[in-house]
Each structure stands twice: as C-alpha cells, then as structure tokens.
C-alpha cells in the first residue's frame, strides 16, 4: 500500500484516542451521553488540531483496508462528529430540548421493523 501522506504523530493524545475509539456510532453516542463536559472538551481539544491531518492521512486508504491503530484512529476521528454539537452548541453532554436519542433505534434496511 503506497502511503503518500505520512501518519500524523498522535502519541501525545493516545489516552484520549483509546477512550473514544469505539466501534459504532451508537457506542460513541452512549459514550458522549455518559461523559462529563470536561471529558468531552478534553477529547475534543486534544483531537482538533490534528484532525485535518488525521482525515487526510486516513483518506488515502480504502476503508476496508483500515486496520489496527489506523482503524482505532478512524473511530476516534468519527467521535469528533459525535461531540461537535455538545462542545459548540449545547455546552452540555446531552441536548435538553430533544427526545432521548436512544429512542431512535437504528434500522438495518428500509423495510426493517426493528421496533415492533
């Protein structure tokens, strides 16, 4: 695999990456909902300066080829999408003017009746 863009050095934010590199959107949602604003901010501001370089680095591979530490890094980067509103708009881990996000249950296809 040719690697035109070098992997950014993330060794100094390894702890945050390990905490937030959860496999699914739903896992990361639950993590955000169960975190304090300090924890969320700490993750967000650790990742933010490196995020453009992380995305550019990961973007040069096919998704299916991401594995190991790169897969972990990709999950932590996606968690940045999950915390974005909390950091900039709500200033609180959970939106107080919406239904509980967990009531919206993920479907697996158009015809899926996941809730009966």
Partner 1 sequence: MGNANIMAIPPLGSHELGTEAIPSDHYSSQAFFEQEKEHIFKKTWLMAGRESDVAEHGDFITFFIDALETSIIVTRDKNGQVNAFYNACTHRGAHILNEPCGRAKFMTCGFHGWVFDSEGKLADVPGEELFGDFDKSKLGLKKVSVDVWGGFVFINLDPEPSVSLKEYLKPLNESYDKYLGNKDWTWSYGWRSKFNANWKLLVDAQIEGYHVDQTHRNTIAGAIPGANAPADVYPDSIGVPARVCAYRPEQMAGVQTDVALLSAKHGATSLYTKSENEFSADDGEGVLNEDHPLWIFDAYLLFPNVVLFIQKGQILVQRTLPVSPGECFWEVDFFHTGEVEDFGQLFNSEQGRIQIRDVLTEDLYTAEGIQMNFNAGVIKEVYINQQEIPIRAYYHRLMSAMKGTGESK
Eight-state DSSP code of residue 6? P
CB of residue 15 vs partner 1: minimum separation in angstroms? 21
Q: Does 1 bind partner 1 (CB under 8 A)?
A: no
CB of residue 1 vs partner 1: minimum separation in angstroms? 13
Helix axes 51-59, 68-85, angle to 10 degrees: 130
Stretch that binds partner 1, among 1-9, 11-19, 34-42, 61-69 (CB under 8 A): 61-69
Contact 11, 2 (CB under 8 A): no
Please give the helix or strand (H or E) that residue 52 lies within, else none: helix 51-59
Contact 78, 19 (CB under 8 A): no
What x-and-dash track marks residues 86-105 binding partner 1 by CB under 8 A?
-xxxx----x-xxxxx-xxx
Residues in 30-49 that interact with partner 1 by CB under 8 A = 48
Contact 21, 69 (CB under 8 A): no
Residues that bind partner 1 (CB under 8 A): 25, 48, 51-52, 55, 58-63, 66, 74, 77-78, 80-82, 84-85, 87-90, 95, 97-101, 103-107, 109-115
């Amino acid at each position: 695999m040719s690697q035109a863009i070098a992997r950014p050095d993330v060794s100094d934010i390894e702890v945050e990456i390990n905490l937030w590199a959860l496999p699914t959107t739903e896992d990361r949602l639950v993590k955000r909902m169960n975190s304090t604003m300090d924890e969320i901010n700490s993750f967000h501001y650790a990742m933010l300066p490196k995020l453009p370089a992380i995305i550019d680095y990961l973007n040069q591979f096919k998704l299916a080829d991401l594995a190991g530490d790169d897969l972990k890094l990709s999950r932590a980067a996606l968690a940045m999408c999950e915390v974005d509103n909390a950091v900039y708009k709500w200033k609180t881990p959970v939106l107080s003017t919406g239904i509980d996000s967990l009531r919206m249950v993920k479907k697996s296809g158009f015809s899926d009746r996941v809730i009966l």
